[in-house]
Amino acid sequence: NAGVMQNPRHLVRRRGQEARLRCSPMKGHSHVYWYRQLPEEGLKFMVYLQKENIIDESGMPKERFSAEFPKEGPSILRIQQVVRGDSAAYFCASSPENGGTYEQYFGPGTRLTVT
Amino acid sequence: GNSVTQMEGPVTLSEEAFLTINCTYTATGYPSLFWYVQYPGEGLQLLLKATKADDKGSNKGFEATYRKETTSFHLEKGSVQVSDSAVYFCALSERAGNNDMRFGAGTRLTVKP
């Protein structure tokens, strides 16, 4: 059973460009979470999605950031008009159910560098 | 709201030393508790978990006991190895609904030979 897949692993964008990060959850998992990790810092929750629904986006910046988890295909985190402060590692996690005793399974992350 | 507090790092130990990383939590009910480990350049991996009071989670020589009376879930290992060098995150999750997983800030462990 393949784990959580993320691509690309490394992404370099110039200021003002768009960054598109992909996440394929583990097989059988319908709950997806996105986190951001700045260098030498902890995880910051961004958004929680189920298929075709955003459940909790309380950690997502109001502008330039959006996320989706379509009926078919991977979850996408999109960052428009990137700025240097967006440089970070972005991790996706998935779980079979949300909360309680269910742990989240993490992907290897996408490291975004904005030049 | 729910939260997790971990001891600040970095922690530097010699090989075969005893490790304790403190973790305390605040929750309104009865959360499940987790320790995750992050090796350099990788994502987080679940190390162990405990789902109710007095449960002990264990894996790869690491242990943590869910102490409801002290709201703690301290991570311990009797003899660390260089390969244990990583960042360790304590986390809790209480109920379904919005994303309820809360992570501590992480503690960086370096083990020297």
Residue range B17-66, pLDDT digits in tens? 999 999 999 988 889 999 999 998 889 999 999 999 999 999 999 999 99
Residue A2's pLDDT is what? 75
Overall average pLDDT of the A53-58 stretch: 92
Token code pair at residue A66: 């959006």
Residue B85's pLDDT is what? 97
Give residue B98's pLDDT band: very low, low, confident or very high (50, 70, 90).
low
Burial pattern B88-110, b for ≥16 Cβ within 10 A else e, equals: bbbbbbbbeeebbbbbbbbbebe
**For chain B, which residues lie within 8 Å of any Cβ of chain A, measuring from their own Cβ?**
32, 34, 36, 42-46, 49, 51, 89, 93-101, 103-106
> What 3-state class would DSSP assign to A86?
helix
Mean pLDDT of chain B: 92
CA distance A57 to chain B (A): 9
Interface touch B42/A109, C-beta < 8 Å: yes
CA distance B27 to chain A (A): 12
Q: Tell me the C-alpha distance between A76 and A34, whole Å.
A: 10
Interface touch A45/B42, C-beta < 8 Å: no
Give residue A14's pLDDT band: very low, low, confident or very high (50, 70, 90).
very high
Q: Which of A4, A56, A100 sits opposite B98 (nearest CB)?
A: A56
Give residue B97's pLDDT band: very low, low, confident or very high (50, 70, 90).
low
Interface touch B98/A48, C-beta < 8 Å: yes
Could you tell me which residue, A26 or A39, shows the higher pLDDT? A26
How would you write A33-85 as a 3-class SS string? EEEEECCCCCEEEEEEEECCEEEECCCCCCCCEEEECCCCCCEEEEECCCCHH
